[in-house]
Amino acid sequence: MDKNPIGELMQTTMDNVKNMLKVDTVVGDPIVTPDGITLVPISKISVGFGGGGVEFGNAKASGERPYGGGNATGVKIDPIGFLVIKDGTVRMVNVTPPASNTVDRIIDMVPQVIDRVDAFISKQKQPK
């Protein structure tokens, strides 16, 4: 069975995308302010990928057939917020527009609810 060049083309493209998109792209380098607050930028990455090819005409004397193909990759990086670390407390500050439906609002509220429950439990454990 003949080797199809589209596989090599797709693999090369995927390797290049993988090298470009690293963890540092999603979770940025921490930024420490003079007053001791640490900011960690957080981004969302979306990737689209497609490709195709065709072999033309009859095989050459070497057994290879003329080939034409290509592929495309689109990468979109959206900043979504910052982790703010101050006095041992971590909170998320969103830079994206507010949630537009009930499910998104509930998901956005989860970290705040967890923080409040944690604070309540800590307060209850303190001796009176």
For residue range 59-118, list pLDDT tens digits in order: 677 767 777 888 888 888 888 899 999 988 899 888 877 667 777 777 777 778 888 888
Chain centroid, CA 121 distance in Å? 34
- Chain centroid to Cα 87, Å, comes to 28
Residue 4 has pLDDT above 70, yes or no: no
For 15, the token pair is: 């390797």
pLDDT at position 33 is 92
Residue 41 pLDDT level (bands cut at 50, 70, 90) = very high
Nearest to 7 by CA among 47, 53, 48: 53
- Single-letter amino acid code for the residue at 107: I
Cβ-based neighbours of 26, under 8 Å, separated by 6 or more: 42, 43, 44, 45
User: What average pLDDT score do residues 119-124 get?
Assistant: 84
Residue predicted with more confidence, 52 or 86: 86
Contact call for residues 5 and 37 (beta carbons, < 8 A): no
pLDDT value of position 23: 65
Model pTM score:
0.52
pLDDT of 1 higher than 50: no
